[in-house]
Amino acid sequence: MFDWLPESVRPHFVNGISALAIIILALIVYVGITRASRYLEERKRLPAIVLRMVGKLLRILLLVATVMIVLEQIGILGNLWVLLSTLVGMFALGLVAVWSVLSNGLCTLMLLIFQPFRVGDTIRIAGEDIGGKVIDINIVFTSLRCEDDDVMRVPNNMFFQRAVRRKAGDKRLDLD
């Protein structure tokens, strides 16, 4: 097919064309993820913040997969599947070793879906000296501004282990 190319250049040229095709395919999938996320957000199927987090995670995974496949295609990563299975194994071992991170992540998802409290509310964990005005909720912690103006970061799984008192805030802030 590429007879007009010198024999020594042909494999590199074919690998380059293949890498370009992989990148174009990844861009098409990226646009599809973005459009699907916007569609679901407009239709109010799921909370917007959940869609954004899932969309961002999918786009990051797509980017990493694309880079790894392109690097393998052009010959930089020779044993991609050995590397990939090692990384997955290390990731699984890491999750088992620090199970609280997974627990906090799942609890964050539950907090965002069921919204027992929101940014702007004042909360207090029963039986603990933990409480204040909610100023931020992220994937691992909820940040509270205490009465003495300090900021306390509480792991999100704590809200599922104890009863929580909530006083709705005067001013509602939406995480969107």
C-alpha closest to that of 138 among 49, 48, 77, 62: 49
- Is residue 122 pLDDT above 90, yes or no? yes
Longest alpha-carbon distance in the chain? 79
Over residues 29-73, the pLDDT tens digits come to: 999 988 888 888 787 767 777 777 888 888 888 998 888 888 877
Can you tell me the distance from the alpha carbon of 163 to that of 125, in angstroms, rounded to the nearest whole number? 6
Q: Is the pTM of this model over 0.75?
A: no
Q: Mean pLDDT across the stretch 159-164?
A: 86
